[in-house]
Structure 1
Amino acid sequence: MSTDLSASGTPAGSTTTAGKGKRPRPPFGVSTVSVLAILTALFSLLPLGYVVYMTAATGWDTAVELIFRPRVAELLLNTILLMVITVPACLVLGVGGAWLVERTKLRGHRWWAVALAAPLAIPAFVNSYSWVSAVPSLAGIWSGVLIATLSYFPLVYIPAAATLGRLDPAIEQSAASLGLGPWAVFFRVVLPQLRIAMSGGALLVALHLLAEYGAFAMIRFDTFTTAIMVQFQSTFNGTAGNMLASVLVFLCLILLVVEVRSRGTARYARIGSGAQAKATRMPLGLYQVPAQLALLALTVLAFGVPVWFVLRWIVAGGLDVWAADEFIPALLQTLMYGAVGALVTTIVAFPMAYLAVRRPSWFSKMLELSNYITSSLPGIVVGLAFVTVSIRVLPGVYQTAGVLIAAYVLLFLPRALVNLRAGLAQAPKELDEAAQSLGKAPLVSFFRVTLRLSAPAAAGGAALVFLAIVNELTATLLLSPNGTRTLATEFWSKSSEIDYTGAAPYALLMILLSAPMTYLLFQQSKKVAGQ
Structure 2
Amino acid sequence: MPHINAATAAAARWLRSLPPLRLLALCIPVAVFAAIPLLLIGFYSVQAGWSGIRPLVFRPLIAELLGNTLALCGTATAGCVALGTALAWLVERTSLPWRSAWLAVLSAPLTIPAFINSYAWITVQPGLHGLTGSTIVATLSYYPLVLLPVAAAVRGLDPATEESARALGSGPVSVFVRVVLPRLRPALLGGALLVALHLLAEYGAIEQLRYPTFATAIIAQYQSTFASTAANVLAAVLVVCCLAFVTIEVLLRGRVRTARLGSGTPRPAVPVRLGRWTAPVILALLGLLGLAIGVPAYSVGHWLTYSTADAWAVDALVPALWSTAQLGALAAGAAVVAGFPMAWLAVRHRSGLTTVLERGTYLASAVPGVVVGLALVSVSIRYARPLYQTTSLAVAAYVMLFLPRAMVSLRSAIGQAPPGLDEASRALGHSAPATFRRVTVPLTAPGILAGAALVFLAVSTELTATLLLAPTGTHTLATEFWAATSEIDYPRAAPYAVCLILLSVPAAYLLLRQSTKGTAS
TM range (shorter): 0.7 to 0.9
TM-fit CA distance, 1:33: 6.3
In structure 1, what is the Cα distance between the partners aligned to 2:177 and 2:440? Answer: 44
1:97-246 matches, within 5 Å, as 97-246=87-236
2:362 is paired with a residue of what secondary structure? helix
| Post-superposition CA distance 1:256-307 (Å, at most 9, x none) | 0011111234545542353423212222223222211111111111122112
Pick the aligned partner of 2:375 from 378, 381, 385: 385
Deviation at 1:106, TM superposition (A): 1.5
Distance 2:50 2:291 in 1: 47
CA contact (8 A) 1:47 1:381 kept: yes
Letter of the aligned partner of 2:94 in structure 1? Answer: T
Larger deviation, residues 370-379 vs 499-508? 370-379
- State the Cα distance separating 1:44 from its structure 2 match: 1.6
Q: C-alpha distance in 2, partners of 1:185/1:377?
A: 39
State the superposition RMSD in angstroms.
3.3
CA contact (8 A) 1:41 1:368 kept: yes
Change (3 A) 1:329 1:273: farther
Counterpart in the other structure of 1:7: none
1:260 maps to 2:250: yes
Report which stretch shifted further, 403-412 or 498-507.
Answer: 403-412
C-alpha contact 1:163 1:529 (8 A) present in aligned 2: no
Question: 2:337, 2:238 → 1: CA distance?
Answer: 30
**How many angstroms does 1:381 deviate by?**
3.1
**Is residue 391–residue 398 contact of structure 1 (8 Å, CA) maintained in 2?**
yes
Answer yes or no: is the 8 Å Cα contact 2:347–2:414 preserved in 1: no
Select the residue among 479, 498, 508 that pairs with 2:469.
Answer: 479
Determine the structure 1 residue equivalent to 2:292: 302
Shift of 1:49: 1.1
Kindly indicate whether the alpha-carbon contact (under 8 Å) linking 1:211 and 1:380 is maintained by their aligned counterparts in 2. no
Moved more, 331-340 or 352-361: 352-361
Amino acid at match of 1:401: T
2:330 corresponds to 1:340: yes
Equivalent residue number for residue 456 of structure 2: 466
Q: Deviations over 1:338-375 (max 9, x none)?
A: 23333333444466567778988765555433323444
Q: CA deviation at 1:134?
A: 0.7
Aligned 1:72-91 pairs, distance under 5 A: 72-91=62-81
Aligned to 2:269: 279
Task: Specify which of 63, 69, 73 is matched with residue 53 of structure 2.
Answer: 63
Distance 1:448 1:90 in 2: 36
User: What residue in structure 2 maps to residue 19 of structure 1?
Assistant: none
Provide the C-alpha distance between the structure 2 equivalents of 1:285 and 1:386, rounded to a whole number of angstroms.
Answer: 57
Residue 489 (structure 1) aligns with: 479
Partner in structure 2 of residue 329 of structure 1: 319
Residues 420, 454 of structure 1: 8 Å contact kept? no
TM-fit CA distance, 1:376 = 4.7
Match of 2:278 in 1: 288
Identity %: 49
Take 1:210 and 1:525, find their aligned partners in 2: how far apart are those partners? 26
Alignment deviations for residues 91-135 of structure 1 (CA, whole Å, 9 cap, x no partner)? 221111112112221123222111211112211111101111111
Q: What is the CA–CA distance in structure 1 between the aligned matches of 2:138 and 2:344, rounded to whole Å?
A: 36
- For the residue of structure 2 that corresponds to 1:317, the secondary structure is coil
- The answer on whether the counterparts of 2:116 and 2:205 sit within 8 Å (CA) in structure 1 is yes
Moved more, 419-428 or 78-87: 419-428
Does residue 1:520 correspond to 2:488, yes or no? no
Please say if residues 134 and 309 of structure 1, whose CA atoms lie closer than 8 Å, have aligned partners that are also in contact: yes
What is the CA deviation profile of residues 418-457 of structure 1, one whole-angstrom value per residue up to 9, with x for unaligned ones?
A: 66675897994876897888xxxx98x6998689858956
Q: Which amino acid aligns with 2:132?
A: W
Amino acid at match of 2:234: L
Deviation digits for residues 27-80 of structure 1 (CA, Å, limit 9, x no counterpart): xxx877654433222112111211211111111111011011111111111112
Query: Is the contact between residue 224 and residue 244 of structure 1 (CA under 8 Å) also seen in structure 2?
Result: yes
Deviation at 1:503, TM superposition (A): 1.0
Change (3 A) 1:377 1:527: farther
Whether the aligned pair in 1 keeps the contact of 2:198 and 2:365 (CA below 8 Å) is no
- The CA deviation string for residues 211-256 of structure 1, in whole angstroms up to 9 with x for no partner, is 1100011111111101111111111111111111111111011000
The verdict on how the C-alpha distance between 1:240 and 1:529 changes in structure 2, with shifts beyond 3 A counting, is farther
Note closer, same or farther for the CA distance 1:37–1:315 as it changes in structure 2 (3 Å cut): same
CA distance in 1 between partners of 2:63 and 2:469 (Å): 29
Unmatched tracts of structure 1, length 5 or more:
2-29
The worse-fitting range, judged by mean Cα deviation, of 418-427 and 339-348 is: 418-427
- 5+ long unaligned stretches in structure 2: 6-19
Tell me which of 35, 42, 47 is aligned to 2:37.
Answer: 47
**In 2, Cα distance between equivalents of 1:91 and 1:155:** 9
For residues 409 and 256 of structure 2, the distance between their equivalents in structure 1, rounded to whole angstroms, comes to 24
* Alpha-carbon distance in 2 for matches of 1:448, 1:98: 32
Match of 2:261, SS? coil
Stretch deviating more after TM superposition (141-150 or 519-528) = 519-528
Q: Aligned partner of 1:44: which letter?
A: A
1:429 and 1:408, CA in 2 relative to 1: closer, same or farther beyond 3 A?
Answer: farther
Question: Whole-Å Cα distance in 1 between the matches of residues 169 and 438 of structure 2?
Answer: 52
Q: Partner of 1:8 in structure 2?
A: none
Q: Work out the CA distance in 1 between the residues paired with 2:316 and 2:99.
A: 41
Taking the aligned partners of 1:395 and 1:413, their CA distance within structure 2 comes to: 24
> Which whole-Å CA distance do the structure 2 matches of 1:447 and 1:161 have between them?
27
Counterpart Cα distance in 2 of 1:245 and 1:436: 48
- Secondary structure of the residue aligned to 1:194 is helix
Residue 517 of structure 1 deviates from its aligned partner by 1.3
Q: Which amino acid aligns with 1:379?
A: G
Could you say what secondary structure the match of 2:272 adopts? coil
Q: Which amino acid in 2 is paired with 1:152?
A: Y
Query: What amino acid sits opposite 1:205 in the alignment?
Result: V
Per the alignment, residue 96 of structure 1 pairs with 86
Please, which moves more after superposition, 272-281 or 125-134?
272-281
- 1:201–1:461 CA distance, 2 compared to 1 (3 A): closer
Deviation per residue, 1:311-361 (Å, 9 max, x gap): 222233154421111111111111222233333334444665677789887
Question: Partners of 2:290 and 2:228 in 1: how far apart?
Answer: 43
Distance verdict in 2 for CA 1:180–1:418, change over 3 Å = closer
Q: Give the distance between the partners of 2:53 and 2:337, measured in 1 at CA.
A: 39
Of stretches 141-150 and 477-486 in structure 1, the one that deviates more from structure 2 is 477-486
Q: Is residue 338–residue 465 contact of structure 1 (8 Å, CA) maintained in 2?
A: yes
- The offset of 1:490, in angstroms, is 0.6
1:371 aligns with 2:361: yes
